[in-house]
Structure 1
Amino acid sequence: MTPKEKTIVKSLVAVAWADGTVKEPERGMIEGLLWAFGASDEDEQEILEYAKKKRTLADDVPVDELEKADRELLLAHAALLTHADGKQTKGEEKVLAKLTEMLGFEKAQAKPIIEGARDRAKKLAEKI
């Protein structure tokens, strides 16, 4: 797992806390990303421990450390994460809008990224 990938996953933890709790579907998605990024046992343990404490976008998303491609990846995964439990809450919608702004995307730039992730989330939910 690269340092950028670790930053992205830690940032996603803040998104997972959007509705005040990290539920099982969100935890499962974070664990899946750890696997996909090839996290070592130590990295996995560190991030899962990190996820136990409430995180916020303002305090826990180091935007200045992310390049444009990393920001797009973060936004896409964040959009997926907000649909992890099958529905996007108003709080999750607001967090996603705030993240979009923080990452420096115009609404028109973010729209295809978010819609693509939402469509993938729906397809995945249909398979489960």
Structure 2
Amino acid sequence: MTKYFTEDHEWIVVNGNIATLGITDHAQSALGDVVYAEAPEVGRKLAKGAEAGVVESVKAASEVYSPVTGTVVKSNDKLADNPAIINEDPEGAGWFCEIELSNPAELEGLMDEAAYQAFVASH
């Protein structure tokens, strides 16, 4: 499994042709206490860069963008009842959805963990 990051602070872990999407620890920390999260429904087609979900905190609301093009094959239903999972485990149990990749070549434009950490440190 390979993990990638975006400049909008999303992460995806790719396992074969399936990518799991969520927001980074940096993003959840900047948002503060998450009070609402909306993951995309199964079957929804996502374009690279398009809104895939919403996360709201006591401080702000933010969109979650898909770093890849594909179809949602699984959605994290637990987020609706317990959005705080995103604060507790943003890069684990706080995932938003699983996407079947339409164009794996899109992964080439994403950052690895070292590049993402350097990006965060420089901004």
Return the structure number with greater helix share: 1
Question: Would you tell me which structure has more strand in proportion to its own residues?
Answer: 2
